[in-house]
Structure 1
Amino acid sequence: MECFKTMDAVASIDKAIDVLFYLHGSSSDCGVTSIARGLEIPKSSVHRLLAALVRGGLVDRTQTGQYRPGVGLLALGLGVLDREPVVEAGHRVLEEFAQRWGETLFLVAARGGDLRVLDKVEGQGFLRAAPRIGSSVPVHATAVGKLYLAFSDESVAVAMENGREAFTRATLTESMALHREIQEIRDLGVAWNREEWISGLFVVAAPIHGPGQMRAAVAMALPASRLPELGEELLATEIRLAAQQISERVSGVRRGSTAMEKHNDD
């Protein structure tokens, strides 16, 4: 009997998680019927799950009886970020470069086999690009994804063998073309997304290294219309500089410092 109770509890947790992700992915508030239909769960079960999530502050119920993600999720999310050394080390750098260039900067890292946005700082330009913090990004169609294919042993490399969706006409879906670009990335130390995921969006990214491995990637997203003004060489230089500064912070080493200086600082 205890075994069945445990199985029921696990199933309920799984469904509650599905509800949270459904609300997160929705562009507007949701009703019980739409959630039940979207997840193929009985309405009575959705009612019960939502009631528990509302009590926990993870879901908010509006005056019209609709549901949306609750502020409790924000608290949980911030708790996760507080434990991310890359975010702690890199946020100030993102702010500096976003202010300097007026464009959006991202920190992305491999988590659970996916590439997840860990932090994001928007500039003053018109671009307010997706993805949001916590969202996943495709591997083959993004600059950070190609960096991971070039420099990391993380499991995201399975994208080389799995089906690759063509998000735009520019998306690289052929293995040979992707392999050639990955080799170029290894030579140059930076990666580009030239409207391969979202039309009109250019992204340049560089790897953030910690002791012995690639820890994350920093990326700058900008509208394609700004590329002729700035030029790829300048953007590549700037993103390398941002990655270097974050890498030094992650490793606890100042530029030009020696091991003895680091010891003395301690």
Structure 2
Amino acid sequence: MAKNIQSLERAAAMLRLLAGGERRLGLSDIASSLDLAKGTAHGILRTLQAEGFVEQDAASGRYQLGAELLRLGNSYLDVHELRARALVWTDDLARSSGESVHLGVLHQHGVLIVHHVFRPDDSRQVLEVGAMQPLHSTALGKVLSAFDPVAHTEALEVDRKAFTPRTVTDVQEFESLLDHTRARGWAADVEETWEGVAAVAAPIHDRRRMPVGAIAITGAVERVCNDGELRSDLVAAVRDCARAVSRDLGAGRF
């Protein structure tokens, strides 16, 4: 059996580390996090920097992901059938709801955001394509866990961290929540992952009626909820959008 190439494994770990943080990381931070000698870490960083996968801030000397990764990621996303089928529908959903729309798929024990439509106003927003969301606390993650057996298993295996006082971490309570999600066909996240933020998500199915992703509307609690409950018009809108994308994928009417 062929052995893995250690330098590539270390480079991949380094990219994941940089992708997981909300700030730039220094050489010492990277080396200690990956249990590498500074010289080894610096050599890998220089190589990744030369290829455009990592950038170094001139003022602080800290590192962040480079533009070449975004180019490669967009190349992948351009051929991703789910994203291609959802583009028009998610644009319409953001425009009609007035809120941000996310398209997510199961990936490495979490939800990978493969498409993000900004809230249609002039506010400053950050593109979240490529970001990971937890399975147990987000609307996208819960709806995938409810309808996808693989996501369900992974949600039970991971550490269900309490992000806010409203996060459900108990196994039995989480299973009950998933049962409720299956029964009504959509999932909610009202300040369970981020304070002040609420979301509603619905599953997308393919021609075999298998869950292949989910769509969510996300926004401030005061806009997305009425008296602590998600607005019924937004629930209906995200479900209609998910059904439309599912039909485009061959799922038929349901």
TM category, shorter = 0.7 to 0.9
What SS is found at the alignment partner of 1:251?
coil
Question: 2:56 & 2:158 partners in 1: Cα distance?
Answer: 40
1:69, CA displacement in angstroms? 1.5
**Compared with structure 1, are the counterparts of its residues 159 and 77 closer, same or farther at alpha carbon in structure 2 (3 Å cutoff)?**
same
**How does 1:89-238 map onto structure 2 within 5 Å?**
89-124=85-120, 128=125, 132-160=128-156, 162-212=158-208, 213-226=210-223, 227-228=225-226, 232-238=231-237
Alpha-carbon offset, residue 63 of structure 1: 3.3
Q: Is the 8 A contact 2:110 2:141 kept in 1?
A: no
Provide the residue aligned with 1:31 in structure 2: 26
- 2:157 & 2:13 partners in 1: Cα distance? 28
Letter in 2 for 1:52: T
Distance change >3 Å, CA 24–CA 118, structure 1 → 2: same
Identity %: 27
**Contact 1:114–1:156 (8 Å) recurs in 2:** no
**Structure 1 pair 192–179 and aligned structure 2 pair: CA distance change class (3 A):** same
Is the Cα contact below 8 Å between 1:58 and 1:72 reproduced in 2?
Answer: yes
2:13 is matched with: 18
Structure 1 gap segments, 5+ residues each: 257-266
Structure with the higher helix share, 1 or 2: 1
| SS in structure 1 of the partner of residue 226 of structure 2 | helix
Retained in 2: the 8 A contact 1:113–1:156? no
- Is this contact kept in 2: 1:32–1:43, CA < 8 A? yes
How far apart, CA to CA, are the structure 2 residues paired with 1:139 and 1:62?
33
CA RMSD of aligned residues (A): 2.7
Change (3 A) 1:60 1:173: closer
Aligned residues: 249
Query: What CA deviation, in whole Å up to 9, does each residue of 1:10-61 have, x standing for no partner?
Result: 1111111122222223434333233223322111111211121122111123
- What amino acid maps onto 1:221 in structure 2? T
Letter in 2 for 1:117: I
Contact 1:141 1:171 in 2 (8 A): yes
CA positional deviation for 1:155: 4.2
Please tell me whether the aligned partners of residues 115 and 156 of structure 1 are also in contact (alpha carbons under 8 angstroms).
no
In structure 2, distance between residues paired with 1:54 and 1:127: 29
Structure 2 counterpart of 1:56, which letter? E
Residue 234 of structure 2 aligns to which amino acid in structure 1? L
Indicate if the aligned counterparts of 1:104 and 1:129 stay in contact, CA closer than 8 A: no
Q: Which residue of 1 aligns with 2:66?
A: 70
1:261 is matched with none
Match of 1:242 in 2: 241
Contact 2:109 2:154 in 1 (8 A): no
Question: How far does the alpha carbon of each residue in 1:187-237 deviate from its partner, in whole angstroms, 9 at most, with x for none?
Answer: 211111121111111110011111120111000011111112995321111
